[in-house]
A and B are shown apart, each in its own frame.
Chain A
Amino acid sequence: DVKVTQSSRYLVKRTGEKVFLECVQDMDHENMFWYRQDPGLGLRLIYFSYDVKMKEKGDIPEGYSVSREKKERFSLILESASTNQTSMYLCASSFEGLATTEQYFGPGTRLTVT
């Protein structure tokens, strides 16, 4: 079974703090993704990575950065957390491929910035 794990289920941080969210997958997937999910807006892609040290901006990268030093681990960094970054953060991974590749998701991190 594919397993995608996220470092925390719930996190409370203060405005201005630097926040690290970590994601680990155990299936040797090339691709890893960070999404945020907000009511009424659905899932929005923040960043994705298609290889170690490679990254590409998604739809809403502002205020976020990422790091992928090892294939199995993808970190999302909030350099200076703000209240509008309060959200559910979801990590996913997949093989590269065209028609047959599924995305597998972690359990999510509910981040509250006060």
Chain B
Amino acid sequence: KQEVTQIPAALSVPEGENLVLNCSFTDSAIYNLQWFRQDPGKGLTSLLLIQSSQREQTSGRLNASLDKSSGRSTLYIAASQPGDSATYLCAVRPVFTGGGNKLTFGTGTQLKVEL
């Protein structure tokens, strides 16, 4: 059964710092990996999707990489800002779950960017 782990569970950094969030998964048979952001009490916002054939995706100050063979993904946030404070979740779409685009989620990293 696919398991997704995100370490650390919480992270606090000063404004302006570049930072890396980690995601690991146990089964490399995936179609894609998706990174989400969740603000307190809100739904999830999709940030980036990396297909299994890709190595990285970029959107603005965000860069996500995927190393499928080692079961790892990183989300790099450049020049962090207080507005980046949120919980970041990664999710994989395993190959062997049939149709329906079902995802397996990590429990997230809660990021706080301080002034």
Contact = CB atoms under 8 A, between A and B. Distances in A.
B81 interface: no
Interface in A23-60: 31, 33, 40-43, 45, 48, 50, 56, 58
Interface residues of A, number: 31
Interface of B: 31-32, 34, 36, 41-46, 49, 51-53, 89, 91, 99-103, 105-108
B46 A50 contact: no
11 contacts: A42-B89, A42-B105, A48-B100, A50-B100, A90-B43, A96-B101, A100-B49, A105-B43, A105-B45, A106-B43, A107-B42
A79 interface: no
Nearest to B107: A42
Nearest to B36: A105
A24 to B, nearest CB: 14
B99 A50 contact: yes
